[in-house]
Structure 1
Amino acid sequence: MASSTLYILFTIISLQSLPIYSHLFLPLTHTLSKTLTTQTQTHHLLKTSSTHSTARFHRHRNPHRQISLPLSSGSDYTLSLSINSQSLNLYMDTGSDLVWFPCEPFECILCEGKPNLNPPLIPHSTPFIPCNSPACSAAHSSKSPSDLCAIAGCPLEIIETSDCYSHRCPPFYYAYGDGSLIAGLRQANLSIPTSKSDFQLHNFTFGCAHSALAEPVGVAGFGPGLLSLPAQLAIGTQFSYCLISHSFDAGLLHRPSPLILGRSSDELIHGEFVYTPMLHNPKYPYFYCVGLEGISVGGKILPAMKNLRRVSKDGNGGVVVDSGTTFTMLPAEMYEKVAEEFDLGMRVNHERATEVEAETGLGPCYYYEEEKVTKVPKVVFHFGGNASVVLPRRNYFLGFKREVGGQNRKVGCLLLMNAGELPDSGGGPAATLGNFQQQGFEVVYDLGKRRVGFSRRQCATLWDSLSRG
């Protein structure tokens, strides 16, 4: 198994009744499920990542309560924490707003071949959440506490007096790209190990799943919801991460990459960030949505359609900034314009590799010589608020080797994907900004000012400067 270890850096602003820490370190690990020793395995990994990106996007378009989990190798970022002294590894996900993990007894259907990072949590001394609590309403899409108490079996006279603490919050159903789960809400002590001592958070609320379809691990939701990890830690109104660029080659270990909670605006380097406003989605408020005005390819600006620039009153449109999706998903009309312009710039110097497109699910793909890679067209994302983000070439054009006629040739693919035609009816985002396109940037989620910021960074250097401080 190839893996790279990253770290979360927590900057504590204020926590009542807790010891004061200047920093808290928590390992966040990016893992490949198997060592890649052949080109076929590399192509398979790219194929599973592109398939997962597509499935996750379409789940965003049609969520129940939604939980969108990173399921494929190459796209997973996991963090470690302890619940009642039991260590767990969870996926970090800005596309969902709940922390959940498997609990004993646990049954997972269609989980063969998927990573199994945790033994199921033994839920001893983890009390259930009552049905009339705000947390229960949040898990059930803000369903009325009276309705939840009725579902939980409270008699009418108890519901009328708002005294239904003896009845537990009913189980809830979550669905995501490749599966689903049923969980109940519980509380326990959360522990985060540090170099000095363990950071403790009492009465931490999480989902305890006893059955799941195709998802054996768990997730730490970072979305803007009451039950997300940042909301429960209550460490300021901002968090950011800076992902060191990774590839799909085997055996590459990277230096730590910081994910920072509670960093104040004064600590950010002014002038280096470009900010785009968060768009409110009335139907799906747990997404971090922004507007995309256009994409430049080789210097030519391709204007975005209306549904990429704004969110309608029925929750349709916008771009989700998502840590759990690998590759950026664009609706067919926008993707085809980008791919066509990219091809115009590439075909002059490079041969098309259509067979690689079928093997990886990516495209267009091209054979190229190393000395001509500088001729790959530049790609720039233009977000609302005049926030233009120039992508490094490795963020949108992945190069790897392929055997052709007994010789290894370099081949590269565009790492933006076609989400297909979007229906006129039904809400949900029109596009997703994947984590591969976010690498090498510090991405700031500023909930106080409702904006997302981007700054080109040497993420390893940023980690070094923060750890020294």
Structure 2
Amino acid sequence: MSSSSIHLQITFWLLIISPLAISRIFPTNQTLLILPLTTQNIHNSSSTILLQRRRSSPSFKILFTHGVTLTASLTAGSPPQTITMVLDTGSELSWLHCKRFSAHTSIFNHAKSSSYTSLPCSSPVCTTQTQDLTNPATCDHKSNLCHVAVSYVDGSSMDGNLAQETFRIGSLTRPATSFGCMDLSSSTTPEEDGKTTGLMGMNRGRLSFVNQMGLSKFSYCISGSDSTGVLVLGDASYPSLPPLKYTPLVTKMDRLPYWDRFAYTVQFQGIRVGSKLLPIPNSNFVPDHSGAGQTIFDSGTQFTFLLAPVYNILKTEFTQQTKSILTVDPSFVYQTALDLCFRVGSTKPDFSKLPTVSLMFAGAELTVSGQKLLYPVPGSGPEQKYCFTFGNSELEGIEMFIIGNHHQQNVWMEYDLAQRKVGFANDVKCSQASQLLGSSGLYGHTV
């Protein structure tokens, strides 16, 4: 989640089932776990999650459903406690609520764990590795413990101590995993945030969960209307997967005011609406001396946000190409930054008539079409309103381009930390996860 995150919420509940069922589905030369999944969100949907570990290259496959935030269920501590963590490619430090507040229904009770360790100020993790974080750790001199804090533009913030604990996902166990054990919390949406135990940071930093768990690659495929999909932790080399186009990650290790050094940063090169390439100067996509203008992929942000000069050109062109089928409502703005909204009435718009918006990166294009272009505003009354799913990042207080998860629906997304690249394939039927993963026998059903 970047500092601008508009959350996506899913909950995974994992339960190991019979090894006999495993042997009927998968080849016997692989070590496998199959885990049912229940999601709890505004859609109250559910599915099945599968986890597979190969002997040579660990790979974990998860069939999931999604709503507002993607939340994985795993265990931490000794004996294990079930926790739920929001999966976030836009941040590094993982953290858990360690103190119960009025709205929190899920906390991690570190006092009951024999493997929990609070890190002192002198710990090398505290003095060295936390320097990667946006807010480096400080020393709480009263307790001599390493103090960590995270904050977001929406007003949410967490404070606590850096600690280490044993985390487990199925058969994958990692002792001494560093995380923030938070005892102070401030949230603009306390009831929603209180449903999860914490956040799982998945960016490229040394303290990110994916790095600490020893995984160099992960992928996901989020479907559209039926809210199902698949998450792969590890390698997803299956013949039945569509060919991916890759764009290299931009690496800049300078500390700049508006630059996130460990985000999944790519080079934005242009936008096409229908067949028209928008007249946007290349300089508008190049970060300036302060780091402003960075382009990142962020699973913790719902929509896509563009800097004002680029957004305004896209807004004008999309309005022009849709003026015969959509009626602009100039007085309506959704969630601060989505300021191109339309009065639709009692019937849905004809999505097939909307022009495709193509986001062009070095070596690859991400296409946004159909229902992904317009978002139905909840509770907007008898005269339904739909808003353009691109927003003005400056209205959100962001100095970067953010490609959100809504525009990643029905796109196979791969994050390759080792090769420093992001790959994706457009127009994938993510709901058909069993077919995507081919002969491995993966499948999903509602439970």
Give the C-alpha shift of residue 170 in structure 1: 1.7
2:73 to 68, 74, 80: 80
2:200 to 191, 205, 220: 220
Report Cα offsets for 1:126-166 as digits up to 9, x if no partner.
112344444223553259xxx989x5779xxxxxxxxxxxx
Residue aligned with 1:89, SS? strand
Q: Judge conservation of contact 2:296–2:401 (CA < 8 Å) in 1.
A: yes
Give the C-alpha shift of residue 422 in structure 1: 10
Hey, what does 2:23 align to over in structure 1? Answer: none
Hey, what does 1:191 align to over in structure 2? Answer: 168
Following the alignment from structure 1 to structure 2, what is the Cα–Cα distance between the partners of residues 268 and 169? 50
Alignment of 1:41-120 (within 5 A): 75-84=68-77, 85-104=80-99, 106=100, 116-120=104-108
Q: Judge conservation of contact 2:269–2:362 (CA < 8 Å) in 1.
A: yes
Report Cα offsets for 1:203-226 as digits up to 9, x if no partner.
222210111221644200101112
Give the C-alpha shift of residue 119 in structure 1: 3.0
Give the C-alpha shift of residue 367 in structure 1: 3.9
Hey, what does 1:141 align to over in structure 2? Answer: 131
Residue aligned with 1:141, SS? helix
Residue aligned with 2:310, SS? helix
Q: Closer, same or farther in 2 for the Cα pair 1:359/1:182, shift >3 Å? A: closer
Following the alignment from structure 1 to structure 2, what is the Cα–Cα distance between the partners of residues 430 and 444? 21
Q: Judge conservation of contact 2:12–2:84 (CA < 8 Å) in 1.
A: no
Following the alignment from structure 2 to structure 1, what is the Cα–Cα distance between the partners of residues 40 and 70? 5
Following the alignment from structure 1 to structure 2, what is the Cα–Cα distance between the partners of residues 120 and 89? 10
Q: Judge conservation of contact 1:138–1:227 (CA < 8 Å) in 2.
A: no
Following the alignment from structure 2 to structure 1, what is the Cα–Cα distance between the partners of residues 214 and 403? 26
- Deviating more after overlay: 301-310 vs 284-293: 301-310
For normalisation by structure 1, the TM-score amounts to: 0.69
Following the alignment from structure 2 to structure 1, what is the Cα–Cα distance between the partners of residues 272 and 244? 19
Hey, what does 1:450 align to over in structure 2? Answer: 420
- Deviating more after overlay: 278-287 vs 324-333: 278-287
Report Cα offsets for 1:285-333 as digits up to 9, x if no partner.
2211112111111321125455653445543322110011111111111
- Deviating more after overlay: 271-280 vs 370-379: 370-379
Following the alignment from structure 1 to structure 2, what is the Cα–Cα distance between the partners of residues 204 and 359? 36
Q: Closer, same or farther in 2 for the Cα pair 1:79/1:271, shift >3 Å? A: closer
Matched, 1:179 2:156: yes
Alignment of 1:47-446 (within 5 A): 75-84=68-77, 85-104=80-99, 106=100, 116-124=104-112, 125=114, 126-137=116-127, 140-142=130-132, 151=139, 169-177=145-153, 178-193=155-170, 198-214=171-187, 216=194, 217-235=197-215, 237-246=216-225, 254-255=227-228, 257-263=229-235, 266-267=237-238, 272-282=243-253, 283=255, 284-306=260-282, 309-312=285-288, 314-357=290-333, 362-368=338-344, 372-385=350-363, 387-399=364-376, 408=382, 411-420=385-394, 430-446=400-416
Given residue 137 of structure 1, which amino acid in structure 2 is its aligned partner? T
Give the C-alpha shift of residue 180 in structure 1: 1.5
Q: Judge conservation of contact 2:337–2:392 (CA < 8 Å) in 1.
A: no
Residue aligned with 1:339, SS? helix
Hey, what does 2:25 align to over in structure 1? Answer: none
Residue aligned with 1:182, SS? strand
Give the C-alpha shift of residue 94 in structure 1: 0.5
Q: Judge conservation of contact 1:276–1:290 (CA < 8 Å) in 2.
A: yes
Q: Judge conservation of contact 1:380–1:389 (CA < 8 Å) in 2.
A: yes
Q: Judge conservation of contact 1:189–1:202 (CA < 8 Å) in 2.
A: yes
Report Cα offsets for 1:402-421 as digits up to 9, x if no partner.
887xxx55543211001228
Given residue 239 of structure 1, which amino acid in structure 2 is its aligned partner? F
Given residue 410 of structure 2, which amino acid in structure 1 is its aligned partner? G
Give the C-alpha shift of residue 364 in structure 1: 2.1
Give unpaired runs (5+ residues) of structure 2. 1-7, 15-29, 46-65, 188-192, 443-447
Hey, what does 1:39 align to over in structure 2? Answer: none
- Percent of aligned pairs with the same amino acid: 24
Residue aligned with 1:336, SS? helix
Hey, what does 1:468 align to over in structure 2? Answer: 441
Report Cα offsets for 1:161-216 as digits up to 9, x if no partner.
xxxxxx965212222222222121222221224xxxx5432222221011122164
Q: Judge conservation of contact 2:307–2:394 (CA < 8 Å) in 1.
A: yes
For normalisation by structure 2, the TM-score amounts to: 0.72
Following the alignment from structure 1 to structure 2, what is the Cα–Cα distance between the partners of residues 422 and 75? 18
Q: Closer, same or farther in 2 for the Cα pair 1:174/1:361, shift >3 Å? A: closer
- Which is helix-richer, 1 or 2? 1
Q: Judge conservation of contact 2:137–2:147 (CA < 8 Å) in 1.
A: no
Q: Judge conservation of contact 2:306–2:390 (CA < 8 Å) in 1.
A: yes
